Amino acid sequence: MAVFRFLAAVFLLVAVIALVTDLSGPLSAGQPFSATTLETQWREMAPATLQSTKAAVVHATAPWVWDGIVWPVLSLPTFLLFGLLAMWCGYAGRRRHKVNIFVN
């Protein structure tokens, strides 16, 4: 459970940083908000790894896995994707209530 709570904190930190990065430019220039997708950020940081990951996924599975599952996930805004991951990990790592059952 502690691992999920730690991952939730890390994913939430990444989501907040991505949101602040997306908001800082438009707010200072008076432009409308536009969210950056994970694919765009990945392409800017390491374009060769994106292409090699695509080739590896298509080679290991079927091409529809990349087009139907992986690509829509990569097309989500970065802050939304990591925010959803943080919520899921936070839910998985929550403290469970102990239920006491007494039989008399």
Token look-up 């590896």 returns 56
Per-residue pLDDT of 60-93, as tens digits, reads: 999 999 999 999 999 999 999 999 999 999 999 9
Each residue's pLDDT tens digit, 10-30? 999 999 999 999 998 888 878
Q: Give per-residue pLDDT as tens, 28-59.
A: 878 888 899 999 999 999 999 999 999 999 99
Strand, coil or helix: 6: helix
pLDDT at 34: 86
Query: Does the pLDDT at position 104 exceed 70?
Result: no
- Contact between 65 and 57 under an 8 Å Cβ cutoff? The reply is yes
What are φ and ψ of residue 36, in 5° steps?
A: -90, 130
Amino acid at residue number 12:
L
| Domains in the chain: boundaries | 2-92
Q: Which 8-state DSSP code applies to residue 32?
A: P
Q: Which residue bears the tokens 């080679």?
A: 59
Q: Contacts for 40-45 with beta carbons within 8 Å, 24 or more apart?
A: 41/78, 42/74
Is the pLDDT score of 99 beyond 90? no
State residue 37 phi and psi, 5-degree precision: -80, 160
